[in-house]
Amino acid sequence: MASPEIIDLTAIQPVACPCGQARRALAGYSPFPGTVHLTEISRSAVAHHHREHTEVYVILECDAGAAIELDGVRHLVRPLTLIAIPPGVVHRAIGEMKVLIVCQPDFDPADEHTAPIRTKIPTRTYPSEQEDHSLQ
């Protein structure tokens, strides 16, 4: 039987990724078939996709007007928005964000493939766009 794990994500050394800086946990933890990342997304995030990975983003903090682009369609986000991204979907974050990402199976940097940006008109907005969702 596996032992429980308690991990301080802020204590993990960040590594560069197409989105910014990621702190990745639970690689190789047999009871969980994936990894969990605390990711600081920068304004210079690069569009990319994964052939094998499914990712689930939970927005913890974000700039006002922050968005996620999925296959060229921009969707506005706010804190506690969840985005499920299956393999093959070209995606990038727009604006600074702090995001919790659950990746399945275990993250493999060889499965990050950059892609051209194909922006269309935003399709998802929230009724209260005047709210301040800036990073503190």
Q: Residues 63-88: pLDDT tens digits?
A: 999 999 999 999 999 999 999 999 99
DSSP 110: G
Among residues 125, 108, 100, the alpha carbon closest in space to that of 23 is found at 100
Does residue 130 surpass a pLDDT of 50? no
pTM: 0.83
Q: How confident is the model at residue 59 (pLDDT cuts 50, 70, 90)?
A: very high
For strands 67-70 and 91-94, give the pairing. Answer: antiparallel
Task: Quick: pLDDT tens for 12-25.
Answer: 999 999 999 999 99
34-114: CATH topology is Jelly Rolls (2.60.120)
> At CA 104, angle to CA 103 and CA 108, rounded to 5?
75
Rounded Cα distance, 40 and 97, in Å: 6
Q: What is the torsion angle, in degrees rounded to the nearest 10, for the CA atoms of residue 15, residue 16, residue 19 and residue 23?
A: 0
